[in-house]
Amino acid sequence: MIGLSHNAQWVLLSTLILGTAAGIMGCLAYWKRQSLMSDALSHAALPGVVGGFALMGFKNLPVMIAGAAVSALIGALLIHWIRSSSRVKEDAAMGIILSVFFGLGIMMLTFVNRMAGASQSGLDSFIFGQAASMVRKDVLMMIVLASIVLLVAGIAFKEWKLFLFDPAFAKGLGMSTRWMGAIYMGALVLVIVVGIQAVGVILMAALLIIPAVSARYWTQSFKWMVVLSALFGGGAGMIGTLISTYGKGWPTGPFIVIAAACLFVVSLAFGARKGLVVLAVQQYAQRKKLRRTTFVQQSALERGS
Amino acid sequence: MLPVINVNQLSASYRKNKVLDRVGFEVRPGTMTSIVGPNGAGKSTLLKVLLELHPKLSGTVSFFGETYAKAKERIGYVPQRGSVDWDFPTNALDVVLMGLYGRIGWLKWPKKLHREKALEALDQMGMADYASRQISQLSGGQQQRVFLARALIQDADLYFLDEPLAGVDAATERAIMDTLKLLKSKGRTVLVVHHDLQTVEDYFDHVLLLNRTVVAHGPTADAFTRENIFRTYGGTLRWMEGLSG
């Protein structure tokens, strides 16, 4: 794009792809009733990121991403374990894991920041996201991982639909719901750990939740909901990154989230399916029709009497 | 003749509560059996354990003399209507199409032929006009008919239905019962979790009275007696007071 450095163009491309992948996975999470789960997972990734850094002593992205994936998966397992082995409900379990892991991550960050070279590492940028700090190698990795997610969602589209709508029936047809669940969780964690560098652990969930919810206002078809959610996510990623490049050291995450939120507000108001404006117009038309018919009935009655 | 289902000493529990206690029965091909019992008797659990959707504690189950895994393709299941989210963005035809997913093949897209078959199944349930209707905009009875169409299209030899007649309109009840009778006439076997004792004798040729364990099982004329019903429901059944014999 005009006026953007070569690096900034790469960054823009990567947040576009990231947003697209997050939009798709967010759509699956929405129908698995696990929107909040994505928030818990992204917070749970922080200790892994910091741990990965401490392990190497310098910023090595693959190791840190692996660390993030491990700690997010541990978080997911713990949530599952708490829910299935105690009376604690899933939302409470997620609340516990989310805050404890995030607290642990911040605590580790405080210690690690005292290590030599850590203060310049940009480790803090994992909290709010700093897409501009990414170099070409990071961007390439992001593109590869996000493409895997796109592929997983694309080739098994019919299977995802059945898995989300009626898992018991899917099982009866011989589909391994256990495997589908594992692949879903793996892809979700992948999007999160890839995305936290650009969006940050705190706001990553917004990129998963908001596009899907916005898309719901426009369509009655699952296929189109996924496509729209991908477009919204990609659009928000790109717009947010573009805005953040105008300032020096502006974090990308908040701008991406605000861009997504704007798309949501537009959807809420003007969405073709149950958008507020559409509902109001429909209601007005109904009322007008009702008034007219009552008027006709009344005048007929009066004529009759 | 080989029984369609053979259940032996089957037990299952939810958490600490034993819901099924040494359940045993056999079902002959071409029969239509209603599973009847009070709330919490384990009717739905029995179906779920048979279909391996819920783990069993002990006991054996076989279908057509084989394990569930081997017989899976010959079994159709209609879950309770409330088991899915009807707000899911899809239409009636697409839901019916799901019944063909196994035959279409994993990772492949449905073809025109499959859509035509799905439309046929909908038509059989009197729902052809609703094919492109959003499932959230269907009435309860219509949703139940969509579920049944999805099972029909599987062309199974054995069908399990969990409360298909609960809270449906008269037209749907008739459509469902006509379909089940048609299946029976083709030699298929049907098991239905049923809640309405008044219609058991009219609708089903066999009955399985269940209250955590099998209280009675057999042809409706023999097993559906006042005494057996009383043993199944305890003293909780006011309806029985009006029953003669």
The pLDDT tens digits for A19-38 are 999 999 999 999 999 888 99
For B18-64, how does the pLDDT look when each residue is reduced to its tens digit (9 = 90+)?
899 999 999 999 999 999 999 889 999 999 999 999 999 999 999 99
Contact A149, A191 (CB under 8 A): yes
Q: Are B161 and B184 spatial neighbours (Cβ–Cβ below 8 Å)?
A: no
pLDDT of residue A120: 58
Residues A25 and A51: their CA atoms lie apart, in Å, by 26
For position B151, what pLDDT does the model report?
A: 93
Chain segment A105-119, per-residue pLDDT in tens? 999 988 888 876 656
Q: Sorting pLDDT into bands at 50, 70 and 90, what band is B245? A: very low
At residue A75, does pLDDT exceed 60?
yes
Q: Could you say which of A31, A155, A174 has the minimum Cβ distance to residue B88?
A: A31
How far is Cα A168 from Cα B49, in angstroms, rounded to an integer? Answer: 12
- The per-residue pLDDT for B40 is 86
Categorize the per-residue pLDDT at A45 as very low, low, confident or very high, splitting at 50, 70 and 90: very high
Q: What is the pLDDT of residue B23?
A: 95
More confident residue, A123 or B191: B191
Of A39, A53, A75, nearest in space to A201 by CA = A39
Nearest-neighbour CA in chain A from B225: distance (Å): 35
The predicted model gives A182-201 an average pLDDT of 90
Quickly list DSSP for B188-208.
-EEEEE---GGGHHHH-SEEE
Q: How far is B22 from chain A, CA to nearest CA, in Å? A: 24
Could B107 and A219 be called an inter-chain contact, meaning their C-beta atoms sit closer than 8 Å?
Answer: no
8 A C-beta contact, residue B172 and residue B150: no
pLDDT of residue B242: 52
Residue contact B106–A172, C-beta within 8 A: no
Q: How confident is the model at residue A8 (pLDDT cuts 50, 70, 90)?
A: confident
pLDDT band at A57, cuts 50/70/90? confident
CB contact under 8 A, B77 and A168: yes
State the smallest CA–CA distance between residue B98 and chain A in angstroms.
7
What does the pLDDT read at residue A116?
A: 62
- Mean residue pLDDT of chain A comes to 88
Q: Could you report the per-residue pLDDT of A134-189, keeping only the tens digit for each?
A: 778 878 888 888 889 889 998 999 999 999 999 989 988 888 889 999 999 999 99
pLDDT at B235: 62
Query: In angstroms, what CA-CA distances link A173 with A169, A170, A228, B105, B158?
Result: 6, 5, 29, 11, 14
Q: Which residues have a Cβ under 8 Å from the Cβ of A142 and sit 6 or more positions away?
A: A14, A17, A18, A134, A194, A197, A198
Average pLDDT over residues B100-112: 88
Note whether A168 contacts B98, CB cutoff 8 Å: no
pTM: 0.87
Q: Per CB distance under 8 Å, which residues of B are interface residues toward A?
A: 51-53, 72-73, 75-77, 79, 83-85, 88-91, 94-95, 98, 101-102, 104, 106-110, 134, 150
Question: For residue B192, what are the domain limits?
Answer: 5-244
Q: Does residue A73 or residue A174 have the better pLDDT?
A: A73
Chain A neighbors of B73, CB-CB under 8 A: 174
Which of A27, A33, A152, A158 is most worth mutating to test chain B (most B CB atoms within 10 A of its CB)?
A158
Question: Which residues of A lie closer than 8 Å to B, measured between beta carbons?
Answer: 31, 155-156, 158-159, 161-162, 164-166, 168-175, 216, 219-222, 225
B218: helix, strand or coil: strand
Mutation target vs B (from A28, A32, A159, A173; most B CBs, 10 A cutoff): A173
- Number of domains within chain B: 1
For chain A, the domains span 6-272, 275-305
Between A14 and A135, whose confidence is greater?
Answer: A14
When CB atoms are compared, the residue of A172, A219, A222 closest to B72 is A172
CATH number at residue B145: 3.40.50.300
Structure tokens that stand for B209 in this block? 């009275």
Cβ neighbourhood burial of B3 (10 Å; 0-12, 13-18, 19+): middle
* Contact check, Cβ <8 Å, A168/B72: no
Mean per-residue pLDDT over chain B, rounded: 91
- Cβ-based contacts of A164 with chain B (< 8 Å): 88
User: pLDDT class for A4, splitting at 50, 70, 90?
Assistant: confident
What is the complex's ipTM, to 2 decimals? 0.88
Residues on chain B touching A271 (C-beta within 8 angstroms): none
**Residue of A155, A173, A221 with shortest CB distance to B102:** A173
Say if the Cβ atoms of B89 and A221 lie within 8 Å: yes
pLDDT given at position A305? 59
Question: What is the average per-residue pLDDT within A39-58?
Answer: 91
The nearest CA of chain B is from the CA of A124 a distance in Å of: 40
- To test the contact with chain B by mutation, choose from A33, A163, A169, A225 the residue with the greatest count of B C-beta atoms within 10 A, namely A169
> Are A168 and B83 in contact (CB < 8 Å)?
yes
Query: Mean pLDDT across the stretch B114-125?
Result: 94
What average pLDDT score do residues A282-302 get? 86
pLDDT at A52 over 50: yes
> A6-272 — its CATH code?
1.10.3470.10
Q: Which residue has the tokens 């963005």?
A: B89
Higher pLDDT, A244 or B205: B205
**Chain B residue with the nearest C-alpha to that of A87:** B15
pLDDT of the residue at A118: 57
Q: Do A220 and B51 touch (CB under 8 A)?
A: no
The mean per-residue pLDDT over the stretch B185-205 comes to 94
Q: E-strand spans in B66-174? A: 75-78, 158-162
pLDDT at B145 over 90: yes
Question: Most B CBs within 10 Å: which of A152, A165, A223, A273, as the mutation test of the B interface?
Answer: A165
User: Looking at CA atoms only, how far is residue A167 from chain B in angstroms?
Assistant: 9
Strand order in the sheet with B206-211: B75-78, B158-162, B189-193, B32-36, B206-211, B213-219
Res. B173: pLDDT tops 90:
yes
